[in-house]
Chain A
Amino acid sequence: MLKVKNLHASVDGKEILKGIDFEVKAGEVHAIMGPNGSGKSTFASVLAGNEKFEVTAGEVEYNGLNLLEMSIEERARQGLFLGFQYPVEIPGVSMANFMKLAVAERRKAQGKEPLSAGQMLKYMREKAAIVELDSKLMNRAVNEGFSGGEKKKNEIFQMAMLEPELALLDETDSGLDIDALRIVATGVNRLRSEKNATVLITHYQRLLDYIVPDFVHVLYKGRIIYSGGKDLALKLEKEGYDWLINDYKE
């Protein structure tokens, strides 16, 4: 589904990603871990197409398409979803209206008709229930006045609405209490299937208690320096990153 080869990216002339190789197949869950400032969020942003970052080298193939040549919205319409670490507020624009437009774009790309107002409402209620999101929030402006937990649930709700093939969840667990974490994780698990894949970017092992990954990678100074199975996360939790970092020569 996703093949990243030797990806380099920089911001304001400073190189952040220094040659990432990474591969995801349908049905898999990957976790990317690593200390602060290692480039985890940048990696997700670059895959989503954020223009703040300049890709200086490398290739990314997504479902046979050259991802780096696609616009941000084109990537999204083709089923690439980014769950934001800091979801953005859009005053005056209701969640319902925002989702109506987003779902219509996604369906158009899939060759499907837009949903009728009634279908849309029903669909939204269904998906909101997955993350126990109060459907009253649909009438509120996008993320405006949402609590931290509501914002994160709202990201997973949007993921459920858009049925992505590849979901990149950037620190979705940060700032969540244990109940919210459980709800968010349950939501993600329910959306898992043979056809889609999830990449979790996280600091903490605790999310991986709920969402069990097939692979765990350690990103450090812009490179993936170590990959392993789900046990790697436990080891990192216990021993920290030092043993890896000390081994690593820049």
Chain B
Amino acid sequence: MIRLKGGRILDPANGRDEIGDLFIEAGRIAAPPPDPEAAARSYDLAGKIVMAGGVAMHGGLAGPNANAARALMRDAAPGTVGGIGLAYAAIGMTTAIEPALIPEHAVETHLQLGDIPFIDKAALALLGNDDALLRLIGEQHGERAIDDFLGWTIGQTQALGIAAVNPGGAAAFKDNLRAFAFEDVVPGYGVSARQIVEALIGSVQRLGLPPALHLECNNPDRPGSFVTAIEAMEAAAGLPLHLAQIQRHGFGAEGAEGFSSASAFLAEALAYHKNVSVDAGPMLFGARVALSADPARQFERSAGAGKWVVWDGEGNGGGAVPDRASETDYRHAIQWAVGLELCLLIDDPWRLALTADPAALPQIIQWLMDADARAECIARLPKPAMAMCLLPKLDREFSLYEIAAVTRAAPARILGLADRGQLGIGAVADIAVYGEQADKAAMFAAPDYVFKDGELIVEAGKVKASRVGRTLRARPVAQGQIASWLAQHDEALYGRAAGSFAVPDAFAGAESCFGDVPCRT
């Protein structure tokens, strides 16, 4: 048994903010033993902040789009799976999600996830631009068929849940439609984004998948994009829905440049739609590679880029486009502000997951916790852009407790990972210990200790133990009746056997890396 002694435990899921001890046994948080002094190992954490291991909701970890980004980064510093795992672990994030697993590339995606060290992973399977689903909706095969199809997809792809990126829009892009709004119809199917979203939300709910539908709405980054996000909230009609990368939908069309912050509208709508959770990934300035499963948006981004990858898959596809976010660029300044505004305006931390590249997260946490740090950055940005934003007027500062909520408790709850993001008895002993510092970016970049499944993996920036985590998946109960329809469909259309991309329970020569997450009942 390990004892973490006398730290300040910040555990929003259990309503705790107090000085106390934690005990670890067999990889889990254990009840205090009769004799705490008898613990085999004890860490004196007086003055330290103790949180559950972080849960990164929207990672961009693996698969063909990560490969494309890696190729385009070849003359800089291309990432590796080892680097990804280390980067998360080093800042105390112990679970990360690949939010856009492309079913046809499920095998490679899982092989890569399996090679990411230290942390636990999970993938959300991408639907909503694939011929099968559009056909099932358009030809009115009914809820049961759609449920079977989603259940089958989860089983084949070993996913935790379902995601959609620009539903209908990536399919329509192949028909040369460059923009796709919520009520627009995919040519050839007569199905709108709204219908796709409604079908997926309902089916995910009926199957009881751990996370709600993880939706990246249509028309991101554009003026007026907030309208699409609000339309999606309304379409959920009270059922659980998760809107991913919400900062890309916080734009209005006001001002001389026709591009402004609309985060107030979004935040207001979110306050009303309590069934909707979001993740927000405020950005940093500097070089970056935009990675997405939305080929339409990636093609739009490619204008002016020196090199870029865009590809059309059977469903989504995607691509990667390197660029640079500049402090002198009007749009970039607004994009930066909107990401932070949304975090500051959403007052229910339980419905907000803060998500960003691990290299960026500590800086973003600092901006959320420190209005002066924000003001410093605002001062460097174009004044006309800041005049179209709320950020200069917002003085809210996140508490450590709220940070623990939006980086731990809330994402775990949103994902349906009951034993993570919290420090209650029986929870997975993923723990991050930080030394309190005034400079919050420095504090969150360098935890004193990180435990994964009760094992010390990082101490003062040094790796103490290498380990390979699990890949979390759901196992919904679905009727297999769709299989024969799919077999015919895939043979006729694609000339392949349905499920030719299926991921086995264990890869060749290896033990199974999967861990099961119970469905909601």
- Is chain B a partner of chain A in the same complex? no
* Residues in chain A within 8 A of chain B (CB atoms): none
